[in-house]
DNA sequence: TATATCATTTACGTAAACGTAAAAGTGCGG
DNA sequence: CCGCACTTTTACGTTTACGTAAATGATATA
């Protein structure tokens, strides 16, 4: 018993910050089902991420074993997706991670991509606000039209 | 002079309002290329909309001729898409249009769908704002990390 | 051993709105 | 008659992030 068995109960909180991996290994190997539950994703998702080269769990025979590093990586992936990065982007950034260096290049790339993504998000927000406004206008108009109809003819069901 | 001939120069401005079709026919038949240019869509798009039952241009032999009604419909389609309706939704609403009635049902459906869509849009906006915030935070952190690295080691290119 | 649960791989399906050839017909100016 | 611009139809391709079988293997428990 070098470590506590890790009862599998800590949530995938957004405590950690993006692009920040801790490195180092512990024990708490998780199997795919536990991993999925822990992070609220499906098994399919985990296999898919692996297939795309975003995760590299160990293997016990054919069974996947997820380590502490994998958890960190998955956390990053999910955060990345939350802010709108594609998996390709996430991978590109993660692939630059080097536990032995300062990761300056990785950070620069991340920052660069982030700036662009931020711009995209802001544009999206504007578009949506536009849509909200136009839709609201239309709704007001439709309500008026309906009001006319109900005063003129009958008071339908 | 009941109406001005409408010289075919009016842009696809957002002047008209959603769900409001004028009906009635004029002259200015447009061919697909002109129609496309006028509304800033591709030929493929127009054919696609037709294929989906959203447009029903006349035909001169095999050549499509778009009338005033088609223009109105296209305007609605584009507005619908702008506010985030699917083409299926748009079609469903348009299919209820009856030039001879009060269109109460159409308006009710439109209003109903609009309310739901408005809710979706607002949710989306919130999600995006969230993303913007988290991304901004990460960026700040990364900038700090980069700053440390540049003060400690070299002043890279 | 039988059953149940979890796991594996392979691979096609999904959604939306078109893009993009491919191959051919139509009409007009020169 | 030529060539060019415009149009037609058909039909597969694109994108992203998985969903959803299907068939089989491994482990654990009763």
Q: What is the DSSP string of A33-99?
A: HHHHHHHT--HHHHHHHHHTTS---EEETTEEEB-HHHHHHHHHHHHHHHTT--HHHHHHHHHT--T
Q: At B148, is the secondary structure helix, strand, or coil?
A: helix
Instruction: List pLDDT tens digits, range B79-107.
Output: 999 999 999 899 999 999 998 989 999 99
CA of B55 to C1' of D2 (A): 37
Residue B32 is predicted with a pLDDT of 93
Q: For domain A27-85, give the fold.
A: Multidrug-efflux Transporter Regulator; Chain: A; Domain 2 (1.10.1660)
pTM: 0.79
Q: For domain B26-85, give the fold.
A: Multidrug-efflux Transporter Regulator; Chain: A; Domain 2 (1.10.1660)
CA of B46 to C1' of D7 (A): 13
Instruction: List pLDDT tens digits, range A66-121.
Output: 999 999 999 999 999 999 999 999 999 999 999 898 999 999 999 999 999 999 99
CA of A135 to C1' of D25 (A): 55
Residue A20 is predicted with a pLDDT of 41
pLDDT per 10-residue tile (average), chain B, 157 residues:
32 40 52 92 92 92 91 93 91 91 92 92 91 94 92 54
Residues of A in contact with B129 (CB under 8 A): 125
Residue A154 is predicted with a pLDDT of 53
Predicted confidence band of residue A17 (pLDDT cuts 50, 70, 90): very low
Contact A106, B145 (CB under 8 A): no
| Inter-chain CB proximity A132 and B125 less than 8 Å | yes
| Inter-chain CB proximity B19 and A138 less than 8 Å | yes
| Inter-chain CB proximity B125 and A130 less than 8 Å | no
Q: Tell me what the mean pLDDT of segment A52-69 comes to.
A: 91
Residue B149 is predicted with a pLDDT of 85
- Nearest nucleotide to the CA of A77, by C1', is D17
Contact B29, B67 (CB under 8 A): yes
The Cα angle at residue B1 between residues B38 and B98, in degrees rounded to 5: 60
Provide the mean pLDDT of chain B: 81
Query: Beta-carbon neighbour count of residue A41 at 10 Å?
Result: 17
């Amino acid at each position: 018993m070098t470590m506590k068995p890790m009862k599998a109960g800590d949530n995938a909180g957004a405590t950690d910050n993006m692009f920040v991996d801790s490195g180092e290994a512990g024990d708490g190997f998780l199997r795919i089902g536990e991993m999925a539950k822990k992070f609220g994703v499906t098994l399919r998702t985990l296999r898919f991420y692996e297939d795309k080269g975003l995760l590299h769990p160990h293997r016990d025979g054919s069974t996947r074993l997820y380590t502490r590093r994998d958890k960190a990586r998955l956390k990053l992936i999910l955060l990345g997706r939350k802010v709108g990065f594609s998996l390709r982007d996430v991978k590109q950034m993660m692939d630059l991670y080097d536990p032995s260096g300062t990761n300056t290049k990785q950070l620069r790339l991340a920052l660069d991509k982030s700036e662009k993504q931020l711009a995209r998000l802001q544009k999206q927000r504007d578009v949506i606000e536009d849509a909200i406004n136009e839709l609201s206008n239309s709704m007001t108009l439709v309500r008026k039209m309906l009001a006319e109809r109900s005063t003129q003819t009958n008071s339908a069901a």
